[in-house]
Structure 1
Amino acid sequence: MQRRTLGILLAGSLFAATAAMAIPVTPDPVRDSPANTIQISWSHTTRSDGYVDDTWWATRDRCAPDYLGERLLCDAVGLLARGASRTFEAKMSDDMGLPLADRWGLMTAKNSPFIMSAHVETPLGIAAVLGFYRAALEKRGWSEDDGAVVEPDRAVVVFTTSDGPALLRLARQDNTTIADLSLRKPLAATARIQPPPGQVRLLLGNKTDQAADITVNEQTIRLAAHAGEKLIDSDAAADKLPDSQKIDLQPGKYNVTLKLAGSAAQKRQFEVAANETWGLLVGPEGAPLPMRLY
């Protein structure tokens, strides 16, 4: 009798689960946005002369289910992913000394003898992200300089810190706020990753198993699988890049498109200033992984 009852309950549960899988739901951007999966990478370089270089990058997918059963699965998996995300965020903030805006979908961070920087992409609006950074950086003892530029789709704020001047740039693109926070250190980088005076240097690499095309303002460069994949790990790795994977640009805004075979093209617009060096990696599923190196 007990076996029969158990069988009936199991069958009923399976029937209910199957039925739930077929019940359509209305998309809810707020509820369905938590991370469903998270990919994290970290590298640490040390030398006998005390040189230390830490690099982080992470991406996470978002769940937008069409059916109730998919939403239930998203909720369960997302709960685990958010736990891992909180652990990662706390560790990165402690190790790097830079805050990480909430609901991020992609982030990169660098702490080298030349610079401390972070790039974050989040669906939060400009005002919310700017408010978060102002509060978080004030707690760290950073003071905001006069003359901040705050517009509906962008913001530029300069801070004074005990380690030198720092810069926060925000831009709104396609329902995403892109935040770039950087503090350049006094030590000069190696000459081969420094840009020509007054210009910007962009270094390109590919972490995937497929060839990738990177287009920067109509100039397209084909990268073989894993070409320059370690360029953001250290200045020595960046120095080894061939000239074909280096582009010198004028300061300004640039449209960048990344394309892997069989995947949809991913597009971004980046703002860069004079005397900056950036690395741009083709990440998982063609995701662009930008990182300020100098």
Structure 2
Amino acid sequence: MRTVRPGAQAPARWLALACGLFLLTICMLAASASSWAPHLPRLFSGELTPDPDATLPAPTRYGFRGTHTTTMLGVEAPLRTKLIARIPAELSDVLAFYRTELGKLGWQEQHDGAVVAADRVQLAFVSPLGPAALELVRKDSSTSVHLVQRNQDAATRARVMPRPGLAALMFTNLADKDAVFTIDNRTVTLPARAGKERPEAPLFHLPSGKYAYALKVEGCPDRDTTIELLAGDAWDVTVGPDGDLWSPLQLY
């Protein structure tokens, strides 16, 4: 008794041919992969490319990026420029990128107080315009970037440059009524619209520390709050047109 019909021999021959073609394909793929494999590291390299359109150095690869500048009336150049970004790359690669790119711009890394850890970097620089700082933090699969550059000449021309070893605090009143500020046991009355035009706004030079200050404007509730100052910083506290107290703004 035949268990296989004579016609069943044809599929067997096709099966042998198919197996041969399959093996040939595997060999061709292996040969192709061997020639392509050297390019894999380049495709998945941690190397970051600088973006020529960025105000401050930043790579073309990012998940988020924003640039903020602080300007003053009558001074064209920003007093302070800040870059915030999230880069999908290892912290070590981002650090290498910034050391290279900032070095090209003449930024000098300062070693005093430097922090370089596996998940966090904090470095100070001296740039051609003034002091600068870089902070990197590794979180999840990205590295966050906080880069700040200050412009000493612009701050001097805007009359908000802190004295050596001190912080500067400016009060501005945009309301139509007088505003009374009290800070560090000193009280100053700002006439209506004082500070709208420079250099009318008063400027305090204070040591580093946390300060409580109070505001009184006729027809508005009294307000008490605090501000923390660091030597070398300059801040502005503004009373808005309606007598409301705006959040402090770092100028420099």
TM-score band, normalised by the shorter chain? 0.3 to 0.5
TM-score by length of structure 1 reads 0.40
| Structure exhibiting the larger radius of gyration computed from Cα positions | 2
